[in-house]
A = this chain, B = another copy of it.
Amino acid sequence: MFSTLRGSSRAFSRACSARVAPRIQQQRDIHNTLRGSAVAAANVAVDSVSSYEPFFPKEPTSPSVQTEVPGPKSKVAIAALDEVFDTRSLNMICDYNNSIGNYVSDHDHNLFLDVYAQIASIPLGYNNPALMNVAMSQEMVTTLINRPALGNFPPASWTETLKSGILAVAPKGLNQVFTGMSGSDANECAYKAAFMYHRRRERGEGVEFTEEELSSAMNNAKPGSPDLAIMSFRKGFHGRLFGSLSTTRSKPIHKMDIPSFKWPQARFPQLKYPLEEFAAENAAEEAECLNDVENLIKTWHCPVSAVVVEPIQSEGGDFHASPKFFQGLRDITSKHNVLLIVDEVQTGVGATGKFWAHDHWNLATPPDIVTFSKKAQTAGYYFGNSMLRPTLPYRQFNTWMGDPSRVLLFNTIIKEISRLNLVQHTADTGAYIYNGLEQLSKKYPGEINNLRGKGQGTYIAWDSPQRDAFLKKMKTVGVNIGGCGESAVRLRPMLVFQQHHADILLESIEKVIKG
């Protein structure tokens, strides 16, 4: 498989550049390409999606399920793994050597069209040749085996690595980054930055810590360790470490038996679908939720330092809100000197048809902090206000502060997204899928409910009357698909998902619905 893929690297490049060259100038600035992809697309002739050549010429043309799932080899492997590692959340044992592009292989060599993509974290397909090239590079080898403590001993190349990659796609208005390990880690570091900023403003610039603050902090007591809060939203998900878990409100199973901070949760809009039919009700719902936010800021037992929000609540059930809601949230937080942290861990890096989902909002002033992980294959938070750098060194610090080898992968992902115009591609593919699902929802009333994600790329979901059974049956017809919340089916295909994959997906859904 390995040599086959190396061979296909050239095919991949040829196929892609033949297709893309007329549409994108090779030298176009990555930043503008990615952030302005919708604008760019409007200025050029966009081929219809159907004319696309496959990104992975050697991908199978359809799924192939030859055994029961899990198959006999997988069953043996699961039993062996369970002796040393909890397998109760296991979905399938994979064979990554046998996976390619949008197809994931299980241990019995069944091949599934993958619209779950490692919980929305694979951007460019399995065994992507461009990623393979960077993984085989001398730079990657050196970076892997000489892991630096980045805050103390960065390599000289770190500046250029950040500027040419992570920071080239920084959300508008944010020009600095703190690198981390995972989405939870990124969010918690962002919360810490917000708390330090809060106290900095209260304390006044240049005012040193008091003896009382220093000694009380060591005792986990006020005033050094103050009562301050991060507000989140009902059904929000922001991670599972102690601070992030206190803001996570998706399911009890995540939170049960774990001590938490007494932080507030506001209502998140519960919109009714189709949106066109419920415009007035939905607007009222959003206004009420914004009132809830403002009331909680004013009345909570301790000051709220920041509000954290997902552009689309993902683990909680794929709940959307309108740009107007988020504009209102920005206004309220600004008015009350509360930071706005946008958690783009799942929504970021192209899947919504914009590089960052909050690009859909057209905010007058940017969020204060934006966190990222998953499709970035690394993690961290962006910020712009230099006051969010803490007053002293070592206040925001840890041994590794991220993993530069993963950052090299993200930088290649960014270049490939730009080269292949994958953000616009995903917007187009998403529109095609949404249209197909809308037709199915009419054809099979009650089977595809509350279809949502129109105009949000492939970030599409719906409620299914028998969700868990539906997900399981989809596997028998060769599609690996995930759920979220209590009844939602969520699509999280990769950015290299194309119309011919969408056709297979839609046919498979119909097949399962028909039973």
Q: Which residues of A contact B (CB under 8 A)?
A: 2, 73-74, 77, 80-81, 83-86, 88-97, 99, 104, 107, 118-119, 121-122, 126-128, 131-132, 135-136, 138, 140-149, 151-156, 158-159, 162-163, 167, 175-178, 181-185, 188, 191-192, 195-196, 198-200, 209, 213-215, 217-221, 224-229, 239-244, 246, 249, 252-263, 265, 373-374, 377, 389-390, 392-400, 403, 405-406, 409
**Cβ contact within 8 Å between A128 and B153:** no
Known: A253-B392, A254-B394. A181 touches B176 (CB 8 A): no
Chain B min CB distance to A106 (Å): 9
Smallest CB gap from A167: residue in B: B84
Some 20 contacts from A to B, beta carbons below 8 A apart, are A77-B159, A81-B154, A85-B162, A86-B151, A88-B392, A99-B146, A118-B399, A122-B146, A140-B144, A144-B405, A182-B185, A188-B242, A195-B258, A215-B252, A218-B252, A220-B255, A229-B259, A239-B398, A256-B395, A374-B399
Residues on the B chain within 8 Å of A188, using CB: 241-242
Contact of A84 among B175, B395, B409 (CB under 8 A): B175
Contact of A252 among B224, B226, B377 (CB under 8 A): B224
Known: A198-B257, A261-B220. A397 touches B89 (CB 8 A): yes
**Cβ contact within 8 Å between A220 and B262:** yes
Number of copies: 2
The complex places the Cα of A84 from the Cα of B132 at a distance, in Å, of: 29
Known: A252-B209, A399-B374. A135 touches B145 (CB 8 A): yes
Known: A121-B149, A258-B192. A97 touches B142 (CB 8 A): yes
**Cβ contact within 8 Å between B241 and A155:** no
**Cβ contact within 8 Å between A132 and B127:** no
The complex places the Cα of A38 from the Cα of B355 at a distance, in Å, of: 56
Known: A89-B393, A151-B90. A225 touches B255 (CB 8 A): yes
The complex places the Cα of A235 from the Cα of B122 at a distance, in Å, of: 41
Q: Max chain B CB contacts within 10 Å: which of A104, A142, A224, A392?
A: A142
With contacts A104-B153, A225-B259 known, what are 16 further pairs, Cβ within 8 A? Answer: A85-B159, A85-B176, A86-B178, A86-B390, A88-B393, A96-B142, A118-B147, A121-B400, A136-B141, A181-B185, A182-B185, A219-B265, A225-B255, A228-B259, A242-B261, A254-B395
Chain B min CB distance to A272 (Å): 23
Contact of A90 among B144, B152, B249 (CB under 8 A): B152
Chain B min CB distance to A328 (Å): 25
Q: Max chain B CB contacts within 10 Å: which of A162, A215, A256?
A: A256
**Cβ contact within 8 Å between B121 and A145:** no
The complex places the Cα of A224 from the Cα of B253 at a distance, in Å, of: 10
Contact of A158 among B81, B148, B225 (CB under 8 A): B81
Residues on the B chain within 8 Å of A228, using CB: 259
**Cβ contact within 8 Å between B259 and A227:** yes
**Cβ contact within 8 Å between A257 and B91:** no
Chain B min CB distance to A310 (Å): 14
Contact of A218 among B147, B156, B249 (CB under 8 A): B249
Chain B min CB distance to A23 (Å): 26
The complex places the Cα of A92 from the Cα of B241 at a distance, in Å, of: 32
Chain B min CB distance to A263 (Å): 6
Chain B min CB distance to A387 (Å): 12
Chain B min CB distance to A212 (Å): 11
The complex places the Cα of A146 from the Cα of B5 at a distance, in Å, of: 13
